[in-house]
Structure 1
Amino acid sequence: MGRSLEPLLTPEQIESRLNLWPGLDGGTATLINLSENHTFRIDTPDGRAHILRVHRPGYHTRQGIESELAWLDALYRDAGLPTITSIPGKNGNALQYVHFPETGIATFAVLFAFEEGQNAEELDDLVPLFADLGRLSAICHRHAEAWQPPAFFKRPVWDDNAILNPDGPWGNWRETSGVTPEILTLLTRLERRLRDDLAAYGREKQRFGLIHADMRLANLLVHKGETRLIDFDDCGFGWFAYDFAAALSFFEDDPRVPELKATWLEAYRKERTFSAVDEAALDTNLLLRRMALLAWIGSHAETSLAQSCQPDFAENTAKMAEVYLTAR
């Protein structure tokens, strides 16, 4: 499921469309991230900054993006959660459909307020961060369990089929570089076990619902002691335990994981019930997330993040699988 991730849009092309939003005329665009989407920082002559997310064509529908924004608004309004704020265009809509005739691209874009803070990837001590993440996860899940979404609401489902099937949205883990025949055999056993364990765990309302789905360090800002979630682009329906697993993305085998898990659990349980059965599902979701990342690395091989992980990611995933299969 390879995708070309070379920059399709230049800062100059973005700058030519800034007149869609009030107050951005004369702004300067700087590409700060390229993954599923283009993310630009917009600096205006009067010293203000904004973040513009230009969506990958075909990744999310208008309905899907509007659903994401609806949950963001509801989390802020109903739960007081510190989230990012979208800024409407001149037509009053937060979601803009932008044409770039010179490239043949037409896609969606959302402008967000710029948030001050330190990227969580730069932190040395992750224990306080995981206390914050436990609390924030519980607040999100408690809200999701009680919230009645609008009739148009539609978001992806991040379950074992979406992640493990060959035609999953993040690609086919079997085709990722480093998946040798021996590793393929082992991970196929893991896949069967994960499916069985998740089926036994079930999808009751207190376990499965609307989740952020990508609370990894790169999607967190820390400012004056407050942790803020800055990217809900992959929010959807999954096991609540998956939000913990996503927080450990790309370092699931780190020796600090047991301490971070204990910290997350303690903070989570101060806000919302999380049973011993739910706790046991954390490890299952951790392996499920790891398999999702294995697929993502294979289908996004052009990105610097995937290239930095590729040399031993499949091998280390196999080592984690051996531990999981032996322990259960």
Structure 2
Amino acid sequence: MNYIINRRHLRKGASLFGVNESDLKLIGGFSNNVFAANSDKVSLIIKYYPSSMYKRDSIASELDWIIYLSESGMNVTFPIVSINNKLMEVVFNKDEACYVVGFEKAKGAFVNVSNHKEWNASLFYTWGKTLGNIHRLSKFYQPKDPNIIRKAWNKDTLFTDVIHNNELIKQKWENFICELNKLPKNINGYGMIHHDLHHKNFYLYQNELVLFDFGDSTYHWFVYDIAVVFYHAMQVVGDRRKKDFVSTFIRSFLRGYETENQLQSDWLLRIPFFLHYRQLYSYLYLSTYLTNEQQSDVKIQQYLNRLKSKIEKDIPVIDFRLPIP
């Protein structure tokens, strides 16, 4: 797997957090930019953000949001200061800048979706409770630095700069944007969300979730955050089991969610709309930001082709009624 982070950035960034380049192990990230760093003295996660792909202000706002959630009692991986006592460093290779941030290494492990002792109604309840807590806290969130402005839902380049080659998909995208712009933005339904809380963005530790990867957090509708969870959770089960799984998942998840935050039923009834939106968003996001090498992967090509076909044919993400109270 090719790194998008050049060796000079890797080496300089690692040294600023007390480790060597040889201590780094690539563990993921959409851009292959997240590394575990283990040495005799320290164990942490280091994320690299090339300035050609990430903005400094966006990273600063991500850190502020994480710190707020942590100080409010959420289980999140906390940022670690560098040897210079900075939360964010910048390293250079010639004129190319790269921002570097360190995080605590999360306790626990990914949920095993094949193990019913882990992937069950109890987990779904806890998952819902966790997201409900985020949305409750979102209502009181104010950045510590008044210069920090986290982007709104429609300020991403998908909404501003992307050129759509497929006219049918372009029209569907514009229709969704038009419908979203009609929705109210009051404090009870709209605020900072995680935006990507699928089961690969948290660890399970002592029956609690430890959250990470807040890079996509943005101001959006709370119900969309719920739909994102549902959308990705459904992908782990086959079509034959989907209806039964969704019924169990939604009932357990919403019971947990409502212990921390309440959404009016008219918001919850919009979940199918937001599931459909997430499908189109995912297709456009992957088509836009995956590298040519990633898109040439046969499995990824097949997945994108299936998504494209469903979108063009208006095949719903679910073809049954959700058990929403």
Greater mean alpha carbon deviation, residues 50-59 or residues 229-238: 50-59
2:221 — aligned with what?
239
The answer on whether the counterparts of 2:107 and 2:210 sit within 8 Å (CA) in structure 1 is: no
The answer on whether the counterparts of 2:50 and 2:97 sit within 8 Å (CA) in structure 1 is: no
TM-score (norm 1): 0.80
Quote how far apart the aligned CAs of 1:52 are: 0.4
Q: Give the number of equivalent residue pairs.
A: 305
Percentage of matched positions with identical amino acids: 20
**Quick one: distance in 2 between partners of 1:281 and 1:24?**
48
2:13 equivalent to 1:24 = no
Runs of 4 or more consecutive aligned structure 1 residues displaced over 6 Å after TM superposition: 323-327
The answer on whether the counterparts of 2:198 and 2:233 sit within 8 Å (CA) in structure 1 is: no
> Counterpart of 1:113 in structure 2: which amino acid?
E
1:157 — aligned with what?
152
**Residue deviations 1:43-72 (CA, integer Å, cap 9, x gap):** 1134x4211000132433222211111111
2:209 — aligned with what?
227
**Quick one: distance in 2 between partners of 1:320 and 1:262?**
26
The answer on whether the counterparts of 2:16 and 2:83 sit within 8 Å (CA) in structure 1 is: yes
Question: Structure 2 regions of 5+ residues with no counterpart?
Answer: none
Quote how far apart the aligned CAs of 1:197 are: 4.3
Quote how far apart the aligned CAs of 1:270 are: 1.3
Among 50, 53, 56, the alignment partner of 1:56 is 50
Quote how far apart the aligned CAs of 1:128 are: 3.1
**Residue deviations 1:240-264 (CA, integer Å, cap 9, x gap):** 1121122245565651334322222
> Counterpart of 1:42 in structure 2: which amino acid?
A
**Quick one: distance in 2 between partners of 1:292 and 1:140?**
22
**Quick one: distance in 2 between partners of 1:135 and 1:153?**
28
The answer on whether the counterparts of 1:26 and 1:44 sit within 8 Å (CA) in structure 2 is: no
**Quick one: distance in 2 between partners of 1:164 and 1:28?**
36
Q: In structure 2, do the counterparts of structure 1 residues 17 and 199 end up closer, same or farther at CA, with 3 Å as the change threshold?
A: closer
**Quick one: distance in 2 between partners of 1:82 and 1:247?**
18
2:63 equivalent to 1:81 = no
**Quick one: distance in 2 between partners of 1:317 and 1:268?**
30
Q: In structure 2, do the counterparts of structure 1 residues 323 and 83 end up closer, same or farther at CA, with 3 Å as the change threshold?
A: closer
**Quick one: distance in 2 between partners of 1:286 and 1:70?**
29
Question: Structure 1 regions of 5+ residues with no counterpart?
Answer: none
Q: Secondary structure of 1:120's partner?
A: coil
Among 65, 69, 75, the alignment partner of 2:63 is 69
Greater mean alpha carbon deviation, residues 230-239 or residues 57-66: 57-66
Among 171, 174, 179, the alignment partner of 1:188 is 171
The answer on whether the counterparts of 1:40 and 1:52 sit within 8 Å (CA) in structure 2 is: yes
**Quick one: distance in 2 between partners of 1:137 and 1:73?**
16
**Quick one: distance in 2 between partners of 1:200 and 1:289?**
18
1:312 — aligned with what?
306
Q: In structure 2, do the counterparts of structure 1 residues 15 and 88 end up closer, same or farther at CA, with 3 Å as the change threshold?
A: same
**Quick one: distance in 2 between partners of 1:58 and 1:18?**
20
1:14 — aligned with what?
10
**Aligned 1:1-328 pairs, distance under 5 A:** 6-9=2-5, 14-21=10-17, 23-25=18-20, 28-36=23-31, 38-46=33-41, 48-78=42-72, 80-101=73-94, 105-120=96-111, 122=113, 124=115, 125-150=119-144, 151-159=146-154, 162=156, 165=159, 167=160, 171=162, 174-175=164-165, 184=168, 188-189=171-172, 192=175, 194-195=176-177, 197-250=179-232, 252=234, 255=242, 256-299=245-288, 300=290, 302-303=293-294, 306-307=300-301, 309-318=303-312, 321-322=315-316
The answer on whether the counterparts of 1:11 and 1:30 sit within 8 Å (CA) in structure 2 is: no
Q: In structure 2, do the counterparts of structure 1 residues 227 and 88 end up closer, same or farther at CA, with 3 Å as the change threshold?
A: same
> Counterpart of 1:44 in structure 2: which amino acid?
S
> Counterpart of 1:241 in structure 2: which amino acid?
V
Which structure is higher in RCO with an 8 Å CA cutoff and minimum separation 6? Answer: 1
Q: Secondary structure of 2:274's partner?
A: helix
**Quick one: distance in 1 between partners of 2:201 and 2:133?**
17
The answer on whether the counterparts of 1:40 and 1:51 sit within 8 Å (CA) in structure 2 is: yes
Cα root mean square deviation, aligned? 3.2
**Quick one: distance in 2 between partners of 1:109 and 1:323?**
38
**Quick one: distance in 2 between partners of 1:195 and 1:323?**
18
The answer on whether the counterparts of 1:215 and 1:246 sit within 8 Å (CA) in structure 2 is: yes
Q: In structure 2, do the counterparts of structure 1 residues 69 and 218 end up closer, same or farther at CA, with 3 Å as the change threshold?
A: same
